[in-house]
Amino acid sequence: MNEIELKPHLTREYMLNLLRQMIRIRRFEDRCAELYTKEKIRGFLHLYDGEEAVAVGTIPLLGAEDRLVGTYREHGHALVRGLPMGEVLAEMYGKAEGCSGGRGGSMHLFSDKANFYGGNAIVGGGLPLAVGLALADKMRGENRVTACFFGEGAVAEGEFHESLNLASLWDLPVLFVCENNKYAMGTALERSEAEIDIHKKAESYAIRAEVVDGMDVVAVEAAARRALEQMRETHEPYFLECRTYRFRAHSMFDAQLYRDKAEVEEWRKKGPIVRFQGWLESNGLVHLDEIKAIETDVELEIDAAVAFAEAGTWEPIEELTQHVYAAARPPPPLLPVPSAETMEITYREAVKQAVVDALVRDPRTFLMGEDVGQYGGSYAVSKGLLERFGPERIRDTPLSESGFTGAGIGAGVAGMRPIVELMTVNFSMLALDQIVNTAATLRHMSNGQFGVPLVIRMATGAGRQLAAQHSHSLEGWYAHIPGIRVLAPATLEDARGMLWTALEDPDPVLIFENALLYNRTGLLAANAGPVDIDRAAVRRSGSDITLVTYGGSLFKSLDAAAELAKSGIETEVIDLRSLRPLDMPTIRSSVAKTHRLLIVDEGWRSGSIAAEIGMRIAEEGFLDLDAPPARVCSAEVPIPYARHLEDAALPQAERIVAAVRAMLRKGQG
């Protein structure tokens, strides 16, 4: 933004434009309410009626290069930011001509051209994204601001506190704009917050904050000017609490039984349009014919938008699966011929080499997570990297999984290549919202306008006597989710090479590293490089049965195959490597040869990845089977602490051998 744009210039023409913008939002939303009753707009519809001064007072001050993250009540934000009204309404209709191709609807308006990163149906869900966008800008030395809008209900969410802390800790240029409309859905602020002065929460994170009358567009604009001027000088976050009021229901489904009609009417008397228009009239700055002209022009624009939406087309069903993943992916990597020179190395060191290689190769790459810097990583993968690459690229985070994972997502959206390390898979559940609701959906909901190229690494698995809360194998959960890729490297080659390929991928990739493998030692080719992350690998050939597994269970399966070979049973062992997508052709080809299938999965049996593979083979290769598919999974119990019970709960080589023998006996019978 140019410096001159920060200076007040409330000329008569400018003030008339402020009034026009607020009337434009109000009349548009009035029409949307009518269209909703006619079932032209479906789903949730959250209207901005009464809050127009906040958007109109802040957004025009942002430069075209600045970024904006909205909420589910973002129609006003979108219109002021410059999204064409016809495209906004067409999106609310679900038409292909909508700003998100009809994939997002009312709560998910996107525009890459306008640097509009969408509304977010998850309360507080956009806050970490905004932090990540600003982080990317700071790391590249770009002079941008990211404005993030949210309601007062979001301040109760952990992501609010995690985001403010990160923004303050890392001095990120995020303009936090809280639209305090006094009701989080149907619960009044006084009934949900111990401290109702929301700006004080921001001040507790050492962020400069102020309160502004959100019903006064001039006051909002003056506060926004002060904030942006300060941010341009300091490149630090700023917090505005705009005290406003929504005249309509939380959404069109809301009967508003939680507040009196008299309260609403009292607030309407001091609404932003009534107030500003009255002030202009009393000071002779506007005439009734000018107001009528504004209203006429706005109605004509709305009529044109309705006609555009009505004439829009429905996306063909054949395009249903578009934009789940990027249409264009890089070609498979050129795999080096393994050199004769090898080195003895641990799995841990192989992962570390992969991280170092990524940091050296691509300046956009950085590692962040809990204790990755000074501590060296909870599994010592990043030990020594802080000294080599510095705190900007080896970035210690607070224990705020949702916050820093969301920040990684935002940085990826902005063009960086972050590696986010979650200490263990157990902690990933605290980041589940950001992974499932943002990383996995952003490309699809934005109609391909925004991708999320990042890698999330985490340790997984049991066997270390850490009891139930630190012994999960949840990779099957994540393999259930479209929009992400899920990898499980077992070998040294994959530990070294999967990260390389994953960082080239335009979509989010989750890498699950089995904790029992970190100390495993083997020989690795000195020229080890990228690997193909889309294909399963046959780790042992056989003709009697196909054994499919992944991660830490690979070596138990190979041990079982060796034991079975002593009695003449030749087992083909397939390492899945990728859990999403699954390489079913490799599995089907093996089953067509062996006619039997056993899946070994450290996850629980119910709803497991093993169940998915078995069902697909039943659907696609049933005639190749001489026996029903079988599986060896963890027992249906929280993983116990005592060693003998933990061993009994997990797949072991002995159980695999027994399962194979049982299948062959049944087949022979």
Active site residues: 401, 470
Report the amino acid identity of residue 461: G
Nearest to 76 by CA among 13, 23, 127: 23
Q: Give the end-to-end CA distance of the chain in Å, rounded to a whole number.
A: 79
CA distance linking residue 417 with residue 364, whole number of Å: 5
Residue 279: Cβ-neighbour burial (10 angstroms; 0-12, 13-18, 19+): middle
Query: Are 159 and 127 a contacting pair, CB within 8 Å?
Result: yes
User: Which CA distances in Å does 299 have to 29, 220, 294, 295, 303?
Assistant: 12, 26, 9, 6, 6
Angle among Cα 17, 229, 227 to the nearest 5 degrees reads 75
Paired tokens of 181 = 């409309």
Paired tokens of 546 = 């196909």
CA distance linking residue 51 with residue 275, whole number of Å: 13
Nearest to 490 by CA among 471, 517, 464, 509: 517
- Sheet with strand 630-634: strands edge to edge: 537-540, 571-575, 545-549, 597-604, 630-634
Paired tokens of 635 = 């027992």
CA distance linking residue 360 with residue 389, whole number of Å: 9
CA distance linking residue 377 with residue 450, whole number of Å: 31
Paired tokens of 374 = 């000074």
CA distance linking residue 368 with residue 355, whole number of Å: 11
